[in-house]
Structure 1
Amino acid sequence: MTLALAVRYDRTTIILHWLTAVLVAGLWFVGQTADYLPEDSLIQNIVWSSHVTTGFTLATILIFRIFWRSTSGVGLPAADSGALHALAKATHYLLYGLLVITISLGIANAFIRGYDLFHLFKLPQLGVKDWKKPVTHWHELAANSVLIVAGFHAAAALVHHYVWRDNLISRMALRAR
């Protein structure tokens, strides 16, 4: 299977894609490691505050990304046909859905806990404190699911690039103007 997929996504779509990927990876890493910091320390507050504020930033970027994709982004012809196209499309929708769920649960978690952000501002504590553990658990599960599906997405892109050599990765490559 050798196709020449030279068409590229528009610059905004590419930037939003890679910004989302970097933020998701960074947020996941912090979420996995921040509890190893000394409890109730300034550094832990800074790290968790950064996680929460970056999560709110990702929410804004995701909303803009969905808006951009549905109104202004360049639509490209499918790289595959048949079952592979259906699988790729389902994977993209699954990623968007999981991102929405993960971010929503993260925002809910931030307000259930009433996070103290950088010891400068405290989010209002909404909801029942008993929700803290289940919402945290679901947020972690959703975040791990995002990483798994994103890994599958990246692996598929690498198969296109190294096995099928169809130039698919160049559609989403960042390049200087």
Structure 2
Amino acid sequence: MIKTPVTRYGQVTQFLHWCTAILVLVAFIYGPGGPEQRVYSSVHEFDRRLHETLGLCVFTLTLIRLLWRAADTRPEAVASPRWMVVMATIVQAALYLLLLALPLTAISGAWLEGHPLTLLAGKDIAPLLAPSHDAGARLASVHKLLGDAIMWLAGLHALAALFHHVVLRDNVLTTMLPRWFPVGKARSGQ
């Protein structure tokens, strides 16, 4: 029996990828940011609750993505120079690491500062860590840096996909797009 090569990521992988991307972007936009007094002020309660809820969703989706990735079939890699393959591997690994580290630093930082994890619908998860305000504040600072880093890295990831599509004219971008998405065809045979 001849196995047909896979030319695109599956629908589940695409769904998880794009949901994660959208949730990260919206969480970044709604992150109240700033000093602790600002973040935990009543004025920013909705933004904080939305941000923390989306962060928990990102963490959960990332765990699901990693499990799915271990079992799913992926399209064959496009022939590229070794440096591009290495860079793509590093960027993907860094993105996964950030997708896990961002929620963990936020939750740990909040709990160490003595704040509950506040979710939409008024649900709160009380701190499960003994208070250490200074450590929590340091983790909150790390969380902000990681949030900026994931946005830059995701932007680089998107630019690389567009570079593949527009300049190299291969199918790297289209492997992660649904078949119905209107995008020009890459040259075949590459």
State the TM-score bracket (shorter-chain normalisation).
0.7 to 0.9
> Within 5 Å, which residues of 2 pair with 1:129-148?
129-148=133-152
Query: Of the two structures, which has the highest relative contact order with CA contacts closer than 8 Å and spacing of 6 or more?
Result: 1
Structure 1 unaligned runs (5+)?
1-5
Q: Is 1:40 equivalent to 2:44 in the alignment?
A: no
- Per the alignment, residue 88 of structure 1 pairs with 88
The residue matched to 1:75 in structure 2 has which SS? Answer: coil
Corresponding residue to 1:114 among 110, 113, 116: 116
> Within 5 Å, which residues of 2 pair with 1:17-28?
17-28=17-28
- Per the alignment, residue 185 of structure 2 pairs with none
Opposite residue 40 of structure 1, the aligned amino acid is S
TM-score (norm 2): 0.78
Q: Could you tell me whether the CA contact under 8 Å between 1:111 and 1:123 is conserved in 2?
A: no
Structure 1 stretch 58-67 or stretch 103-112: which is displaced more? 103-112
Opposite residue 92 of structure 1, the aligned amino acid is Q
Aligned residues: 169
Q: Is 1:167 equivalent to 2:166 in the alignment?
A: no
TM-score (norm 1): 0.83
- Per the alignment, residue 76 of structure 1 pairs with 75
> Within 5 Å, which residues of 2 pair with 1:8-19?
8-19=8-19
Percentage identity across paired residues of the two chains: 28
Structure 2 unaligned runs (5+)?
1-5, 181-190
- Per the alignment, residue 103 of structure 1 pairs with 103
- CA-based RMSD: 2.6
Larger helix percent:
1
Q: Distance in 2 between matches of 1:159 and 1:123?
A: 43
